[in-house]
Structure 1
C-alpha cells in the first residue's frame, strides 16, 4: 500500500518544523507529512546529550522568526532548545504530521509521472513502506547521525578506561572525581570542558592545533526592558534584526581584517587567562579567523577552569593511546579514566538517501547547488543546509519562503516539474570555503557551487535574502507543464458536435 502526499518533508528537527509551519501557512491546500528516522522530534537537539550541549549561535536567530525565543539567555541549553521545538510543533499542530521511526532509504523520481517514490524502513516493524510525493524536501541536517568521526588512533584498544564519542554520549556515565581527557578543539570540546570541570578531578583538552575563541555574553541585559517597552513580538523582531546585522558585521570584519581581529581575539584570551599563561601555544591559531569556524563561548566560560587549574589545554599530536591514557609526540604521558573523542563528524548531503532519476543513480557530488537549496538536474526536490558562520535557521526560513513561492507558482501555472538546469559555462568551486577537517573529508561527496549567481552557495543572509527573493521563473529553473492527453484535446470538439 502506498501513501501519497503533495510534499514529503524528511526530518523533524529545526528545519523540518520550519518547513511544515511555512507550508501549512502559505500552501494550505498542499498535503504533507514529515518522516523522522529517530523516535522523537528535535534532530540535533535530541541526538546530542553530552554535558553542556548548547547552541553555538544566539537563540534569537537560531529560534524561529514566527515564535520568539522565550528565555532571557542568548545562548540556549540543549534541553531548553528541545523543549522549544516540542512546544512549537505542538502549538501549530505540526506534531500531528510527524511519523517517527521512519528511516528513508531510497527515493526515485519518475519524469513521466512527475512523481517521487520513496522507500522507507519502519524501525518498529522492520518493514519497508512506500510513499509517493510530488515534491521531496530534505530537512535532515548536514552530518551522519549513525556515526561520528574518530581518527585511526594508534593503540586505541589498549586503553583500559572508558572511551566515548559526544555524538553517542551515555547519560549514565559518571565522571565525578574522574580524570577526563577531551580530544579536540572545536565547539563540542569547548562546550564540554567547563561543565565537566565542575565535577571531574581534572580535565585536559588535548588539541592538535588551537582554535579562535570569541567570548559572548550569555544573558541579554536589555531583552526584558524591550519586552516591556515594545511587547514580546516587536522586541523579538528588533533583537533578531539587530543580531543578524551584528553577526554579519563580525564575520565580514574577520574576513576583511584578519590580522586586526585575530589580535583582538587573542588579546581577549590573554586578558581572561593572565599574562603568565601560554596563549601563544594554546589559543593562537596558525590561520585567519573563519578559515575555520570561530568558537562562540558564553561569558568566556572555558577560561575560568583553565585559569584556576581545574582544567588544562595541551597542544600536541597524539602518538598513541596507552593502557592509562595517551602518549604525545613530545613524550608527555597523560593519564585518564575517561577519554572523550570530540573529533568531529562526517558531512552528509540529502541525509545520505540513495537518489535516482528515471532509474539512473543521482550522484550529489556531480551536481551544482542552485540558490542554496536545490541541486542541478534533480527535479522537484529541495534541501536545507544552514549557514556555517551564522544561525542555521536563518537560511532555513529563507528556503521555506522560496519553496512555498515555487509551489504556489507551479500550482497557478499548472507546472508539474521544476528542475535547475546546469549552465556549462559556470565554473565549479568547493561548496564550503573552510579548511576544517569535516569539510576536507567530504570533498569527494560534496556538490559544487558556481562562480556566479544563482549557483553561489552564499554564507550571507543578506545575499541569500536578495537571491531567494528574485522571481522564481528566472530562466535557469526549468518549469514543465505536461502535454494534454489526446482525450483531453478531443473533448472540446466532441462537445461542439453534441451541442450542435
Structure 2
C-alpha cells in the first residue's frame, strides 16, 4: 500500500470553505483516528461536513510534528496492527506487529487520502468556543482563524489528552525539581545522572519508567494500584491476537489458564514488588510490557508505595515508609474528562464526575452533539472508535431526515446503557461498506481480511482488551469494558442498518 502524503489546504482555502454556507453541515473537531472515522462514516452516508484540527496534517496524537502529543518517537503501541487498523484498510504487511507513532501517522494519512477526506479538512484551525442554540437546533462555532460559523451538529473527536490531571501535592514540589506530565514526555534523553520518580499506576507510567531507565541514574516508580503485567506476545503471536482466539465458552477456566500463562512468563505482580491487583486478570486494566519485569528485576526500576508527602528539601515520603529525593518527577496520573471549547453545562456529569454519555458517546436529550473516544481501554481502541463513529453517523443522518429510526434511537438513548443488550458482532462492517462502495475498483482482498479481523475481535474474552474500573480520582477519563461497549453499540447500530 502506498502512503500518499496529504497536501494541506492553505489558510485562504480554509477561509473559502468557511465563507460558504455551513448551516447544513456537521463539524468534526479533531483529525485523529476518531475524527477520521467520523468523517469517513458521514461521507459514506452523504452527510456534508467539515473536518478541523489545530495541526497542519491529519493524525491526531500520532502526528510527529505535534508539540503537545502524549506519545514519543521511540514508543511502541501496546496493541498489534491487527487491532490498530480500520476495517476497510489493513495496515501494510511491511509494518512490524507493534507500530511506532510515525508508522501510525503514515497509515492515518493514507486512509484520509484514500477516501479523499482531506477535501473536507481545514488544517491549523481549532475551535475556540462552541455555543448551542437549542431553539434553532444549531451550533455557533468560533474558530481560531477568526471566523464564526453555524453548524447543524458537532462531532467532538478531540481525544482525551487535552487536560492532564495532577495530584494535589504536585503544587508543593520545590522549584529545583523538574516536573512534567506524561503528556510532555519526549523520551529519556537528558536524564543521564538524574534520579527520576514516576508517579502513576497504569500503562503510561510503566512505559515511561522503562524508557527512563535507559539513561537515568535511578528510577523509582510510585504505584498506588496493582495491575497484572502481561507480555506483548503469547506463543509467538501478538497477545491480543492470541487472546481473540480463546474459546469463549470456557468461562472461568479461561481466567485460570491466562493467569497461569502470565505467571510462567512474567510472574505475579507481587513478585515484582507491585501491589496485588484488585481484579482478576481478565477483568483488570492490565499493563502490557515485555521490558518492565526485567527492568525491575535488574534494579533499573524500583517500585515504591503511594506518595504521602513531599518536604521543602524535595524528599518524598511513601506509604511504605521509604524516602527518596528525585531530580525529576513525571506525573503519569491520567487526564480529566473535559473540553476547552464546550460549555461545562452542555453535558451533565454523573455522581462520580464522569460525563453522562449514552454508550459513552451521546449526551442525553441532545440530538446534535456527539463525543467520541472519551474512554480508556486495554488493547486497541480503534475498533471502539469506529463503532462509535458509525452509530453517530447513522444517528445524525436519521435526525436530519426525521425518520422513525431517529425516534427509536431517542427512546433507547433516554433509557440508558443498562437497557441495551450486548450484541454479537455482525459479519458486515456497518457504514464502512457504504464508504468502500464509493471507490472505483474496491479491494475485495482487503475487505475479506478486515472482515476476518472484525470477527476475531468479537469472539472470546481478551486479556488484553478487558478492563474494569480501576481506582482513580473523580472526573478522570474512565476505563470501560471494551467488548461490552462494542456489543451495545453494535446492537444500536442494528436499528439503522
TM-score of the superposition, structure 1-length normalised? 0.70
Is the CA contact (8 Å cut-off) linking 1:194 and 1:305 kept in structure 2?
Answer: yes
In structure 2, distance between residues paired with 1:327 and 1:139:
40
**What SS is found at the alignment partner of 1:382?**
strand
Could you tell me which residue of structure 1 aligns to residue 474 of structure 2?
441
Is the CA contact (8 Å cut-off) linking 1:212 and 1:289 kept in structure 2?
Answer: yes
Could you tell me which residue of structure 1 aligns to residue 309 of structure 2?
319
Q: In the TM superposition, what are the counterparts of 1:157-176 in structure 2 within 5 Å?
A: 157-158=173-174, 160-169=176-185, 174-176=190-192
Deviation at 1:82, TM superposition (A): 2.2
In structure 2, distance between residues paired with 1:339 and 1:295:
21
Could you tell me which residue of structure 2 aligns to residue 377 of structure 1?
365
In structure 2, distance between residues paired with 1:92 and 1:374:
26
Could you tell me which residue of structure 2 aligns to residue 190 of structure 1?
206
Q: In the TM superposition, what are the counterparts of 1:10-25 in structure 2 within 5 Å?
A: 10-24=29-43
Q: Gapped runs of 5+ residues in structure 2?
A: 1-18, 64-68, 421-465
**What SS is found at the alignment partner of 1:82?**
helix
1:304-327 residue CA offsets vs partner (Å, 9 max, x unmatched): 222223222223444325535523
Q: In the TM superposition, what are the counterparts of 1:25-424 in structure 2 within 5 Å?
A: 26-28=44-46, 30-38=47-55, 40-46=57-63, 47-50=69-72, 52-70=74-92, 71-99=94-122, 100-111=124-135, 113-114=136-137, 116-122=138-144, 127=146, 129-141=147-159, 143-145=160-162, 147-153=163-169, 156-158=172-174, 160-169=176-185, 174-217=190-233, 246-247=243-244, 261-262=258-259, 264-270=261-267, 279=271, 281-282=273-274, 284-289=276-281, 292-297=284-289, 300-321=290-311, 323-348=313-338, 351=339, 353-354=341-342, 362-365=346-349, 369-370=357-358, 373-385=361-373, 388-406=377-395, 409=398, 420-421=409-410
Structure 1 residues 309 and 423: alpha-carbon distance in aligned structure 2, compared to 1, 3 A threshold: closer
In structure 1, distance between residues paired with 2:253 and 2:169:
37
Give aligned pairs, total: 420
In structure 2, distance between residues paired with 1:442 and 1:380:
24
Structure 1 residues 316 and 400: alpha-carbon distance in aligned structure 2, compared to 1, 3 A threshold: closer
Structure 1 residues 353 and 262: alpha-carbon distance in aligned structure 2, compared to 1, 3 A threshold: farther
**What SS is found at the alignment partner of 2:113?**
helix
CA RMSD in angstroms, aligned pairs only: 4.2
- Select the structure that is richer in strand: 1
1:48-99 residue CA offsets vs partner (Å, 9 max, x unmatched): 1447433232222222122222244222222322232233323433234222
Deviation at 1:285, TM superposition (A): 1.8
TM-score of the superposition, structure 2-length normalised? 0.70
Deviation at 1:362, TM superposition (A): 3.2
**What SS is found at the alignment partner of 2:37?**
helix
In structure 2, distance between residues paired with 1:263 and 1:22:
42
Deviation at 1:13, TM superposition (A): 0.8
In structure 1, distance between residues paired with 2:266 and 2:281:
14
Regions of 4+ moved over 6 Å: 218-222, 250-257, 411-419, 427-433
Q: Gapped runs of 5+ residues in structure 1?
A: 223-241, 272-276, 450-456, 474-500
Structure 1 residues 428 and 61: alpha-carbon distance in aligned structure 2, compared to 1, 3 A threshold: closer
Could you tell me which residue of structure 2 aligns to residue 225 of structure 1?
none
Which stretch shows the higher mean deviation, 7-16 or 371-380?
371-380
Q: Does 1:9 align with 2:28?
A: yes
Greater Rg by CA: 1
Could you tell me which residue of structure 2 aligns to residue 494 of structure 1?
none
Structure 1 residues 170 and 430: alpha-carbon distance in aligned structure 2, compared to 1, 3 A threshold: farther
1:337-373 residue CA offsets vs partner (Å, 9 max, x unmatched): 222111221123xx454359xxxx5343278644554
Which stretch shows the higher mean deviation, 255-264 or 61-70?
255-264
Deviation at 1:205, TM superposition (A): 1.6
In structure 1, distance between residues paired with 2:151 and 2:408:
16
Deviation at 1:288, TM superposition (A): 3.0
Structure 1 residues 292 and 198: alpha-carbon distance in aligned structure 2, compared to 1, 3 A threshold: same
Is the CA contact (8 Å cut-off) linking 2:270 and 2:276 kept in structure 1?
Answer: no
Is the CA contact (8 Å cut-off) linking 2:357 and 2:364 kept in structure 1?
Answer: yes
In structure 1, distance between residues paired with 2:287 and 2:249:
16
Structure 1 residues 308 and 36: alpha-carbon distance in aligned structure 2, compared to 1, 3 A threshold: same
